[in-house]
């Protein structure tokens, strides 16, 4: 490659990063934009909704495709998380209950042999009232049973079967599009929930696209990967390759997201979103060692015995790199011993607000519903760490909507001819 070609590649890369920062910097840092009520509406339901990370991404996808998203219902067993969802996303209804209790269904067989034993029936009145009106069904079934961090019941947790409630609800309500997200390891589930779900949806007339999307491949400053299954009736979802090609960008540095938040955590009036737990003497010493020696990985001699040679968690007690994407944010980000969660510039872990930014939550997103009773740090860590970055949700939902748009365009063209 010639010097001039390399220089041009550098210019193109720098321009792509600048464009990405301009778009997402506005989305993350600015106040919430007003809804454009002139746009056609897409109505959606979010199952296993938590605080609404996937819904945020879906709303962006709808706006990109020329629609205004309206959340009809959000369901989750965590009522405190639903209160956060309601405060920020304003659904018409919330259902603080198990999704499994909202649908009556039974599956015979598994994988390619799977069938519903009888037509699934919605048993929740709020969800039943939406039959035939749902344009998009979102779902993020519990993923702990599939996580690579779960050594006890990996791939064989009964909670994994909650995944199957999603095709049952889709079939029972006649949802036009379905988007399910989970960890990449869900495809290794011993009960074959992904293949079973694909079979059930195809039998019901849906066309399915699935695969893993990586946040950093879309320009985001986090190396987070999620498995998505997208299913559509009356249209074929766009391929993930097509969506990734459209949204791809060079990965940005986490310092871009964190730079303007450095001083907020030192404010004496900072709330729980902008403060961190006190470190133990041992962890304080470990963090100091990283900074005093200009390191990002803690040497074995400074680690506790359980985190020395042979551990699969080598990033534990690690410090983030300012100029690189962050590692995957988990519910353990408030503890240096649970991952590479030490701030790149400051001798502490990330604050909840910093972690929320890295997870794609904009600054206007309010996790404190009642200031007299703020959520606990453990709640915040779970809600933020388990969320789906908005950039991934946008890409997956775009695959569904792009397929519908292409189908409409094709029918219009055929009719005109």
- Which residues are identified as catalytic? 143
List the one residue out of 236, 250, 230 whose CA is nearest residue 58.
230
Instruction: Tell me the residue length of the chain.
Output: 417
Q: What is the DSSP letter of 275?
A: -
The β-bridge relationship of strands 177-182 and 136-139 is: parallel
Which are the contacts of 191, defined by CB distance < 8 A and separation ≥ 6? 110, 156, 160, 161
What residues pair up with 230 in beta bridges, in sequence order? 179, 209
Q: Catalogue the E-assigned strands of 235-352.
A: none
Supply φ then ψ for residue 164, to 5 degrees: -75, -15
Q: What is the DSSP letter of 193?
A: H
What residues pair up with 137 in beta bridges, in sequence order? 45, 178
Q: What is the DSSP letter of 301?
A: G
Work out whether the CA dihedral 128, 130, 134, 140 comes out positive or negative.
Answer: negative
């Amino acid at each position: 490659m010639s010097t001039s070609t390399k220089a041009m590649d550098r210019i193109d890369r720098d321009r792509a990063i600048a464009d990405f920062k301009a778009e997402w910097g506005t989305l993350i840092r600015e106040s919430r934009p007003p809804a454009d009520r002139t746009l056609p509406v897409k109505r959606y339901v979010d199952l296993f909704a938590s605080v609404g990370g996937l819904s945020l991404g879906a709303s962006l996808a709808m706006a990109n495709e020329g629609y205004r998203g309206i959340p009809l219902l959000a369901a989750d067993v965590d009522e405190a998380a639903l209160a956060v969802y309601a405060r920020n996303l304003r659904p018409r209804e919330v259902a603080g209950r198990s999704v499994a209790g909202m649908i009556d269904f039974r599956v015979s067989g598994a994988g390619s042999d799977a069938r519903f034993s009888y037509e699934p029936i919605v048993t929740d009145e709020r969800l039943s009232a939406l039959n035939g009106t749902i344009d998009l069904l979102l779902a993020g079934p519990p993923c702990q049973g599939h996580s690579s961090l779960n050594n006890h019941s990996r791939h064989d947790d009964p909670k994994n079967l909650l995944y199957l409630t999603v095709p049952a609800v889709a079939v029972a309500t006649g949802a036009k599009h379905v988007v399910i997200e989970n960890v990449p390891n869900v495809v290794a589930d011993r009960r074959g929930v992904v293949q079973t779900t694909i079979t059930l949806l195809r039998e019901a007339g849906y066309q399915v696209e699935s695969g893993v999307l990586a946040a950093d491949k879309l320009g985001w400053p986090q190396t987070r990967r999620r498995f998505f299954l997208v299913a559509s009736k009356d249209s074929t979802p766009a391929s993930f390759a097509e969506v990734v090609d459209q949204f791809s960008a060079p990965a940005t540095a986490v310092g871009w997201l964190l730079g303007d938040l450095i001083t907020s955590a030192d404010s004496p009036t900072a709330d729980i979103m902008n403060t961190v737990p006190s470190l133990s003497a041992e962890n304080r010493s470990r963090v100091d060692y990283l900074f005093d020696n200009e390191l990002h990985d803690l040497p074995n001699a400074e680690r506790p015995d359980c985190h020395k040679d042979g551990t699969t968690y080598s990033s534990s007690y690690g410090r983030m790199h300012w100029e690189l994407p962050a590692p995957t944010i988990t519910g353990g980000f408030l503890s240096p011993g649970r991952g590479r969660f030490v701030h790149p510039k400051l001798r502490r872990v990330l604050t909840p607000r910093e972690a929320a930014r890295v997870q794609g939550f904009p600054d206007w997103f309010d996790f404190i519903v009642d200031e007299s009773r703020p959520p606990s740090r453990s709640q915040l860590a779970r809600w933020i760490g388990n969320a789906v970055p908005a950039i991934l949700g946008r890409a997956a939902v775009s695959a569904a909507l792009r397929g519908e748009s292409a189908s409409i365009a094709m029918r219009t063209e055929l009719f005109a001819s």
